[in-house]
Amino acid sequence: MATGSAQLATLHRVAGVRLGSAMAGIKKPNHRDTLLIELDPASSVAALFTRNAFCAAPVQVAKQHLAAAAPRYLLVNTGNANAGTGELGLQAAQASCDAVAALAAVASSEVLPFSTGVIGEHLAVDKLTAALPSAIADLSEEGWLTAASTIMTTDTRPKAASRQFQLDGSTVTITGICKGSGMIKPNMATMLGYVATDAQIAAPLLQSLLREAAEGSFNRITVDSDTSTNDAVVLVASGRAGVAVSADNVAEFAAELNALMVELAQSIIRDGEGASKFVAVTVSGAATIDEALAGAYAVAESPLVKTALAASDPNWGRILAAVGRAGIEALAVDKISVTLNGVTIVEQGGRAASYTEAAGQQAMAAEDIAIGIDLGRGSVSETVWTCDLTYEYVRINAEYRT
């Protein structure tokens, strides 16, 4: 199941960034599971990784390589996360970089490895390296859509976004892809996202742009509150558009980047495992960002709220109960109001006088649900995106390894 349209907009190529896919047969045969991304030598690269203490071998190797050199190649495999694999896993991640380096005549530290799939099984690095020549032969600036499909695991459809805009009189492009459907509560990043622009951006600025964009997008989504071991998001600036991002125009560029990353993050929720609803939980009237997020995540992660959403049941009591346990200091219950797709269901902490069950059910029948919670104690507002909890989620995750 999934929500919204599966239709993707045109994916503009980004000069200086080429993508090639191949079939390595890591988990299943005859299926694209390997992606190589080649970056122009002049590119800047920024990246964010999972904060899970059990970060996967490729995450550890990618961090070391990033610290040592400017990346020229990103290598991604699906079907195996190479996480919880100890010393052998680190060797496998390093060996895959060595293989790319040998074929492409670059240093091994100029290659960043990424893996996604089952945790705790060893990566068949020989299969992966055997597929590299065909990935290299496939390298093309037109490769974005195929790349988006290649990195899918339990995703039911490819996820990508692209936009072009004018910056200082030049056309600038940003195109990105991502994957992720379960084990989704990114903490600094998502389960694999690759975004590239042809603007020229110095590495420190690129890193801060990525951090800010991730904070408002990938760090505001949750399918099941489980942070992955392999989350990573990479932002590349190839510099080929002939325009530089600087203090003068950074706000303009950041607005476009942030919007594109919100689009990518939302596409993960729309394709959340078993999802039949796309849900935006907004907590407003909060005193601080932390309490707004605590309230929004308590609602977005409540199994009782999520199963009620699956049943299109306007069970506002469960929403109040979730806000009530969010740990917000001295919460004044009688100041709280709640809306469902614009219908006021709770005011002053109790059922709204104007509320009817019929109006609530009509609001809940929609595929896209906006839950608005006003705490009435400040002016801060935060939104978290999530999906409902369905039979299908349980089926997918009970059967994942079989």
Nearer to a copy of itself, 164 or 348 (CB): 348
Nearer to a copy of itself, 134 or 307 (CB): 307
Active-site choice (129, 175, 190, 229): 190
CB-CB contact of 12 with 173 (8 Å): yes
Q: Which stretch binds a copy of itself (CB under 8 A): 67-75, 126-134, 145-153, 345-353?
A: 345-353
How far apart CA 184 and CA 386 sit, in angstroms, is 10
CB-CB contact of 304 with 323 (8 Å): no
Site string for a copy of itself, 158-197 (x = CB under 8 A): ------------------------xx-x-x----------
How far is C-alpha 70 from the chain's CA centre?
A: 23
Nearer to a copy of itself, 101 or 331 (CB): 331
Asked if 81 interacts with a copy of itself (CB under 8 A), we say yes
- Binding residues for a copy of itself restricted to 195-224, rule: CB under 8 A: 224
Secondary structure (3-state) at 28: coil
How far apart CA 205 and CA 395 sit, in angstroms, is 43
Which position among 316, 343, 359, 369 is part of the footprint of a copy of itself (CB under 8 A)? 316
Nearer to a copy of itself, 248 or 329 (CB): 329
Asked if 325 interacts with a copy of itself (CB under 8 A), we say yes
Asked if 248 interacts with a copy of itself (CB under 8 A), we say no
Asked if 52 interacts with a copy of itself (CB under 8 A), we say yes
Residue 132 amino acid letter: L
Check if 190 is active-site: yes
CB of 106 to a copy of itself, least distance (A): 30
Asked if 308 interacts with a copy of itself (CB under 8 A), we say yes
Q: Which stretch binds a copy of itself (CB under 8 A): 145-153, 286-294, 365-373, 394-402?
A: 394-402
Which position among 317, 354, 366, 367 is part of the footprint of a copy of itself (CB under 8 A)? 317
Q: In what order do the strands lie in the sheet with 73-77?
A: 17-22, 34-39, 73-77, 111-115
DSSP 143: -
How far apart CA 85 and CA 95 sit, in angstroms, is 14
CA angle (185, 187, 193) in 5-degree steps: 80
Of residues 289, 201, 195, 194, the one with CA closest to residue 244: 201
Which position among 250, 304, 370, 380 is part of the footprint of a copy of itself (CB under 8 A)? 304
Structure tokens at 270: 């729309």
Nearer to a copy of itself, 165 or 391 (CB): 391
- Binding residues for a copy of itself restricted to 15-44, rule: CB under 8 A: none
Site string for a copy of itself, 263-302 (x = CB under 8 A): --------------------------------------xx
How far is C-alpha 285 from the chain's CA centre?
A: 27
Asked if 154 interacts with a copy of itself (CB under 8 A), we say no
Q: How many residues bind a copy of itself (CB under 8 A)?
A: 65
How far apart CA 78 and CA 152 sit, in angstroms, is 7
Of residues 38, 73, 243, the one with CA closest to residue 144: 38
Site string for a copy of itself, 227-246 (x = CB under 8 A): xxx-----------------
Structure tokens at 119: 């945790």
Q: Which stretch binds a copy of itself (CB under 8 A): 63-71, 81-89, 136-144, 168-176?
A: 81-89
Structure tokens at 247: 């203090």
Asked if 402 interacts with a copy of itself (CB under 8 A), we say yes
Give helix then strand counts, H and E, for the chain.
Answer: 12, 16
How far apart CA 177 and CA 180 sit, in angstroms, is 11
- Cα distances from 64 to residues 60, 71, 209, in angstroms, run 6, 11, 21
CB of 318 to a copy of itself, least distance (A): 7
Q: What is the DSSP string of 90-113?
A: HHHHHHHHHHHHHHHTS-GGGEEE
Structure tokens at 273: 């495992």
User: Annotated active-site positions, please?
Assistant: 190
Residues binding a copy of itself (CB under 8 A): 51-55, 81, 83-87, 89, 118-120, 182-183, 185, 187, 224-229, 301-304, 307-308, 310-311, 313, 315-318, 320-325, 328, 331, 333-334, 346, 348-351, 389-391, 393-395, 397-402
